[in-house]
């Protein structure tokens, strides 16, 4: 398999073609476990992602539109760079994660999510054509607590803390965004700075794919991030936020004894429940 290259691929072309195809803190104060422990004594997460949009009565979709869309059970994910992914639903709802002034997708998203740690994760000047701008923090320090349903997509958030510029803690300055599309639940960890409490894990629910920062310094340290991933138990893990081949390789060397690692040829993948890995693995998409 071809080795990963640190260069920005022609995303406009790859996304356009894909769209045309058919079908230094650890855990916060612990919360009481909300579910029974597993065989190792660790609490289990909820069995299913709550409120899946796909559980609704299927909507009637005109045949002409369906020709250019994904199948009803598919999601397209394209790595734009840094912490920004473009996520596309069967109805072609487009979502950009950690939308900012430096790394943006080549199309205007319908929904943009942001986090507050650094300006490479948010902007005060989003494109006015974006229908929904979801900031993962609130100025009053309370959780953002988003829960948006738009067409065939549900987006909700689970708040976490971040370190502030003075070495203190900004309460609820980061949100883990969960995207419920088709039969899948996809989580973006944002600028995560600590491991997760059982209450946060229960709020997140069952996850099929997770976008995980692997720099090991600006976000959570390597051991802490591995602990988070072991708690989430997502079948597919997509590295992000790693700056260089050295930083990425350092993380992958840390996890190779636990998980297989694959390198994709293109920055876009199409997921469905049927194509999820049988056991958890990392998939590295081109970009950084």
Q: Is 38 among the domain residues?
A: no
Q: Is 164 among the domain residues?
A: yes
CB 105 within 8 A of CB 76: no
Q: Is 4 among the domain residues?
A: no
Query: For residue 260, what is the domain's CATH number?
Result: 3.60.15.10
Residues 20 and 68: their CA atoms lie apart, in Å, by 5
Phi-psi region of 241 (alpha: psi -120 to 50; beta: other; left: phi over 0): left
For the whole model, what pTM was predicted? Answer: 0.79
Domain count, the chain: 1
Q: Is 271 among the domain residues?
A: yes
Q: Is 6 among the domain residues?
A: no
Range of the domain at 174: 11-22+48-284
Q: Is 133 among the domain residues?
A: yes
Partner residues linked to 38 by β-bridges = none
CB 286 within 8 A of CB 1: no
Q: Is 62 among the domain residues?
A: yes
CB atoms under 10 Å from CB of 31, counted, come to 13
User: Per-residue confidence of the chain (288 residues) as pLDDT tens digits?
Assistant: 333 333 333 333 333 433 333 333 444 433 334 444 444 444 445 555 654 554 443 333 333 333 347 999 999 999 999 999 999 999 999 999 999 999 999 999 999 999 988 898 999 999 999 999 999 999 999 999 999 999 999 999 999 988 876 778 888 889 999 999 989 999 999 999 999 999 999 999 999 999 999 988 889 999 999 999 999 999 999 999 998 999 999 999 999 999 999 999 999 999 999 999 999 999 999 976
Q: Is 155 among the domain residues?
A: yes
Q: Annotate 172-189 with DSSP letters as a single string.
A: EEEEEEEEEETTEEEEE-
């Amino acid at each position: 398999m071809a080795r990963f290259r640190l260069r920005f691929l022609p995303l406009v072309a790859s996304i356009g073609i894909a769209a045309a195809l058919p079908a230094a803190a650890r855990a916060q104060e612990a919360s009481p476990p909300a579910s029974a422990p597993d065989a190792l004594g660790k609490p289990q997460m909820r069995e299913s992602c709550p409120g899946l949009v796909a559980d609704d009565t299927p909507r009637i979709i005109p045949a002409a539109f369906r020709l250019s869309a994904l199948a009803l059970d598919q999601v397209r994910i394209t790595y734009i760079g840094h912490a920004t992914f473009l996520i596309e639903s069967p109805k072609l709802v487009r979502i950009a994660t950690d939308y900012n002034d430096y790394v943006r997708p080549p199309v205007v998203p319908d929904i943009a999510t942001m986090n507050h740690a650094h300006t490479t994760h948010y902007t005060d000047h989003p494109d006015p054509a974006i229908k929904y701008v979801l900031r993962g923090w609130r100025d009053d320090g309370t959780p953002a607590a988003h829960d948006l349903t738009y067409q065939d997509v549900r987006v909700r958030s689970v708040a976490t803390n971040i370190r502030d510029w003075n070495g203190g803690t900004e309460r609820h300055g980061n949100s883990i965004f969960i995207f419920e599309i088709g039969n899948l639940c996809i989580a973006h960890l944002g600028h995560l700075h600590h491991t997760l409490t059982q209450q946060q894990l229960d709020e997140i629910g069952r996850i099929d794919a997770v976008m995980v920062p692997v720099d090991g310094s600006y976000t959570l340290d390597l051991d802490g991030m591995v602990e988070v991933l072991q708690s989430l138990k997502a079948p597919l893990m997509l590295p992000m936020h790693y700056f260089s081949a050295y930083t990425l390789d350092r993380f992958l060397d840390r996890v190779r004894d636990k998980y297989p690692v694959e390198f994709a040829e293109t920055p876009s993948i199409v997921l469905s429940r049927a194509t999820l890995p049988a056991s958890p693995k990392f998939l590295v998409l081109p970009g950084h």
